[in-house]
Structure 1
Amino acid sequence: MALRYIPMPDDDAERLRGNGPDAYGNPPERRISDGTGVPCRHCLRNVDRGQPYLVLAYRPFPSVQAYAETGPIFLHADECPAHDRNSLPPILASSKDYLLRGYGSDDRIVYGTGGVVAVERLAERAEELLALADVAYVHVRSAKYNCYQCRVETV
């Protein structure tokens, strides 16, 4: 099974960089990276030390509903290329484990799919979840803070 790692859509990144409102209606906050722990959700790479980035509330779902979690994320303040969907994102090598959770085509959590997985087993567990008939996609989230990292689908 081939996996695709889906970053934040280009139009979302452009709108937010243009000071468009985040999921709570606020303009993104601009900061300067210290070089550690600032993963951009568009290129799926860490923001290098000294580079500007944005902090904002993000909801990676098409509509507001009970399971559409919103949380803080980071984004390069300046344009960056979207992550190549066919390769493991560099930001997923920056922690020892991640929370994976399956969602149905209705964008609701598929109960029983959530769990913390060692980074070495991330692709394997994503494949297991995506093989389930009721799982349409998987979210990769921070195991410590539950922050959204990226979406995983099959090709």
Structure 2
Amino acid sequence: MIPSRAREPEAMKTTTYTARPIAPPALKELRETDDAGRPTSPFTDTEGGAPLRCCLRRSAPGERIALVSYAPLRRWAAEQGVDPGAYDEQGPVFIHAEECAGPDTDALPFTDNHRTVRRYSADGHILGGRLVEDPAAFDEAFTEAFDDPAVELVHVRAVEYGCFYYEVRRR
């Protein structure tokens, strides 16, 4: 079952940190087979509002999208040559069914709801996290995270389902 989607206008927060969408090489792979090994099944989004992790915006009615299983920490760890061990997890994300232009703004997306900023070490282990309830508090949460020299990157995730939205890496 697909969770109901927010119908509110998208909140975007200006920041000095960069929200990183899923990288194009990973998207190319995910459009064929997801990280759980399942073939991707695109569909036409009749409602709109799906949080797209390829371009960091909500879908519009009529767009072709796919819901795929994605393992963001696994992919990051492979780039870094580390093993996240038990912290490796995968979960559902929406992406465009075909290649898209990516984000068209530097503002932080998906700040319209409570989010968790989860911290990870250079070894890919969870170092903690912070609940962010106010869109104005994201910069503070990122600064707090990266003030700890052990934090290498953070994931912004949904509170209610734990779904991955995007990552922010150390500058």
Q: Counterparts of 2:16 and 2:169 in 1: how far apart (Å)?
A: 9
Structure 1 residue runs without a partner (length 5+): none
Runs of 4+ deviating beyond 4 Å: none
Match of 1:115 in 2: 130
Give TM-score scaled by structure 1 length.
Answer: 0.86
Task: Please list the CA deviations of residues 81-119 of structure 1 after superposition, one character each: whole Å capped at 9, or x if unmatched.
Answer: 2236x82233x13x3210111000001101xx3232122
Question: Which residue does the alignment assign to 1:141?
Answer: 157
Q: Does residue 8 of the first structure (1) align with residue 22 of the second (2)?
A: yes
- Given that 2:18 and 2:108 are in contact with CA atoms closer than 8 Å, whether structure 1 keeps it comes out as no
Match of 1:31 among 32, 43, 46: 43
Percent identical across equivalent pairs?
29
Distance of 1:123 and 1:76 partners within structure 2: 28
- Structure 2: tracts of 5 or more residues without a match: 1-14, 79-83
- 1:48 Cα deviation from its structure 2 partner: 0.8
Q: Secondary structure at the match of 1:81?
A: coil
Equivalent of residue 89 in structure 1, options 86, 91, 108: 108
Query: In structure 1, the residue corresponding to 2:98 is in which secondary structure?
Result: coil
**Over aligned residues, Cα RMSD in angstroms?**
1.9
Q: Which residue of 68, 92, 98 corresponds with 1:72?
A: 92
Number of aligned residues? 147
Residue 71 (structure 1) shift: 0.4
